[in-house]
Structures are given as structure tokens and as C-alpha cells.
């Protein structure tokens, strides 16, 4: 269901930036109700398809109203009708450009796809991640910031959906400005963000 968490985090971000209100939105609504295109509940999905659904559905409800269950369910149209946040569309970040991704993340949280299949990534605990990983995109996360580590290593601050016990309270700092155009773990290959 990671694609839903990624899209919701980016939508929460743009909603907070435009309204001043940080509203916890419903991942489960996407899992249950957005079944078009590649979005197939916890079997997998794409953040762009999720943004299309949120736009076409005229918004997304709150987590409190439509709580996360972690399994595919039947769309509750009554709960789905309660809208807490809207987007006007979405934009794709130019592919294979960490510089373009940097410009986007400077303005708002950005949904990114990465290759999270490697054990280095899965067992990450702290520090700037510089481990080995491929570019077979298989996981949706959210780039929420960037910075420079104590040793001078540039990094992306990325929100994962594996709970606060993983990484740095649910976040990972991933090395930024690597030699490969696609970025570490493919972070610059498929990035997008909702528009308000």
C-alpha cells in the first residue's frame, strides 16, 4: 500500500502549505476506492494514478473518518463523500535529474519511487544511507527535504511507510547528488507532486 502513503503524504504537504492546516488524510480511501489503472490496493499502485483519483474524486477524506486497516476493502462511498482536502492536479518532475527533484522538494513534499528491495535499504537504521541498491522501482516514498550530513555528504530526507521503528523514526536520509543520473536507488526516475 506504499503508493497510497506516498501520495497521501504529498497531498497532506501541499494542503498544509496552501491552507495552513495539517490534516491527516486517508490512505485506506485510496486503497479501497482507487482501483483504476495500476492502483490495485495493497497489490501495488502508482502515485500519479492516486493523484488523478484524488482530483477526479474532488478530494480525499480524513484518516479519522476512513481509518487505515492495512488490507484491501470495499469502497465505503458514504465515507468517501466526506472531503477534507482537494488538489487541482499533479506534475511530474523531469526524469533522471536530481537538480529538478531538488527544485521540487524545495517547494513541497514530492512522491518518489525507489528500489527498496536491497537488504542495505531494508535494514537501514541511521545516518546518511550510501548503501547498495538498484533502480528496479518497487516502493513509493515521499521526499520531504534535503540537507548535508556532519561529514559533508548531501542527502534527501525521505519519509517511508514502514512505521516509526524503522530507520530514523520512519525516515531515511539518502545520499544526494550521486554520479548516476537516476539518483541513489532510482530516486530521481519517477517523481511527482500534487498541485493546489
Strand order from edge to edge, sheet including 171-175: 89-92, 191-195, 110-114, 139-148, 154-159, 171-175, 128-129
Q: Is 160 a catalytic residue?
A: yes
Candidate list 1, 65, 133, 160, residue with the active-site label: 160
Query: Rounded to the nearest 5°, which phi and psi values hold at 23?
Result: -110, 130
**Nine-digit cell at 106?**
524545495
Burial class (CB in 10 A: 0-12, 13-18, 19+), 96: middle
Query: Rounded to the nearest 5°, which phi and psi values hold at 64?
Result: -65, -40
Task: Compute the half-sphere exposure of residue 36: CA atoms within 13 Å on the CB side of its CA.
Answer: 10
Distance between CA atoms of residues 196 and 188, nearest Å: 22
Candidate list 1, 33, 133, 139, residue with the active-site label: 139
Q: Is 139 a catalytic residue?
A: yes
Q: Is 58 a catalytic residue?
A: no
**85: β partners:** 60
Candidate list 1, 2, 33, 185, residue with the active-site label: 2
With CA atoms as reference, report the closest residue to 109 among 69, 51, 148, 178: 51
The residues carrying an active-site annotation are 2, 139, 160
Amino acid at each position: 500500500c506504499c503508493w497510497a502513503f506516498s501520495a497521501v503524504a504529498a497531498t497532506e504537504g501541499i494542503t498544509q502549505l496552501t491552507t495552513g492546516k495539517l490534516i491527516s488524510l486517508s490512505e485506506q480511501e485510496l486503497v479501497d476506492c482507487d482501483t483504476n489503472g495500476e492502483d490495485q490496493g495493497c497489490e501495488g499502485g502508482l502515485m500519479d494514478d492516486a493523484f488523478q483519483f484524488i482530483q477526479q474524486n474532488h478530494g480525499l477524506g480524513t484518516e479519522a473518518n476512513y481509518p487505515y486497516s492495512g488490507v484491501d476493502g470495499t469502497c465505503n462511498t458514504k465515507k468517501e463523500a466526506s472531503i477534507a482536502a482537494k488538489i487541482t492536479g499533479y506534475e511530474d518532475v523531469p526524469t533522471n535529474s536530481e537538480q529538478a527533484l531538488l527544485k521540487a522538494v524545495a517547494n513541497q513534499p514530492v512522491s518518489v519511487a525507489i528500489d527498496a528491495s536491497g537488504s542495505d535499504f531494508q535494514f537501514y537504521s541511521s545516518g546518511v544511507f550510501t548503501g547498495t541498491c538498484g533502480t528496479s522501482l518497487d516502493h513509493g516514498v515521499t521526499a520531504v527535504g534535503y540537507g548535508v550530513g556532519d561529514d559533508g555528504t548531501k542527502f534527501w530526507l525521505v519519509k517511508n511507510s514502514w512505521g516509526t521503528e524503522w530507520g530514523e523514526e520512519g525516515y531515511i536520509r539518502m545520499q544526494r547528488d550521486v554520479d548516476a543520473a537516476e539518483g541513489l536507488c532510482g530516486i530521481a526516475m519517477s517523481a511527482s507532486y500534487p498541485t493546489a
